[in-house]
């Protein structure tokens, strides 16, 4: 029988604040079981625009963009997963890593890198980008320490519950990044 790792083996890297927004994903892995929940804390105290972009894309409250793209993570796939490295999702326009749009328009600028800006290890959430000031809706969740990404990608939150789900997502990864099975955000919102 396969042993399943539990949440007690991981913990948030930064102290969790009662004053910061908490959002969730319900994630389907392979479509064969009930979706499992991951809860994130957003660092609205240090990167407010980036945290607000992610929060609004979790709730879908902004509706559609000017070009009629739904600004919502619901039904979005994790399109790139490299086991033990990163799990990337958030391409709400194309679903394959070539698209994305923010609540502010196509892209928005990086915010200053502050005290919670290190990719310390599993559960840190950071913006995927194409270079400086090119943030959209795409993000990645760190699956191992990746501090060489510090000052290159904006860290805006961390997993606070559901590390076992994060580990299950990581196991769907491949060296090429093409997931072994579909990993889909089936529901999301704010707590």
pLDDT of residue 33: 80
Does pLDDT of 160 surpass 90?
yes
Task: State mean pLDDT over 52-56.
Answer: 98
Residue 149 annotated to the active site:
yes
Residue 4 annotated to the active site:
no
Residue 88 annotated to the active site:
yes
- What is the percentage of the chain residues whose pLDDT exceeds 70? 95
Asked if 160 contacts 14 with a C-beta cutoff of 8 angstroms, the reply is: no
The reply to whether the predicted model has a pTM over 0.85 is yes
The DSSP call for residue 176 is T
Residue 85 annotated to the active site:
yes
The chain-wide mean pLDDT, for the chain, equals 93
Contacts of 37 (CB under 8 A, 6+ apart): 24, 25, 26, 27, 161, 162, 165
pLDDT digits (tens, 9 = 90+) for 114-144: 889 999 999 999 999 999 999 999 999 999 9
């Amino acid at each position: 029988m396969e042993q399943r790792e539990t949440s007690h083996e991981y913990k948030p890297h930064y102290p969790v604040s009662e004053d910061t927004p908490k959002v969730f994903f319900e994630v389907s892995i392979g479509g064969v079981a009930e979706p499992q929940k991951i809860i994130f804390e957003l660092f609205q105290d240090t990167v407010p625009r980036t945290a607000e972009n992610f929060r609004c894309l979790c709730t879908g409250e902004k509706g559609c963009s000017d070009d009629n793209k739904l600004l919502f993570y619901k039904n979005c796939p994790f399109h790139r997963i490299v086991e033990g490295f990163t799990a990337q999702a958030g391409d709400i326009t194309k679903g394959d890593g070539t698209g994305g749009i923010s609540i502010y328009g196509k892209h928005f600028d990086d915010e200053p890198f502050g005290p919670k800006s290190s990719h310390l290890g599993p559960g840190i959430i950071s913006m995927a980008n194409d270079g400086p000031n090119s943030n959209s809706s795409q993000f990645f969740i760190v699956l191992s320490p990746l501090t060489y990404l510090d000052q290159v990608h904006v860290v805006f939150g961390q997993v606070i519950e559901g590390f076992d789900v994060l580990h299950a997502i990581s196991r769907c990864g491949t060296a090429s990044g093409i997931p072994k099975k579909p990993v889909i955000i089936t529901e999301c919102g704010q707590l």
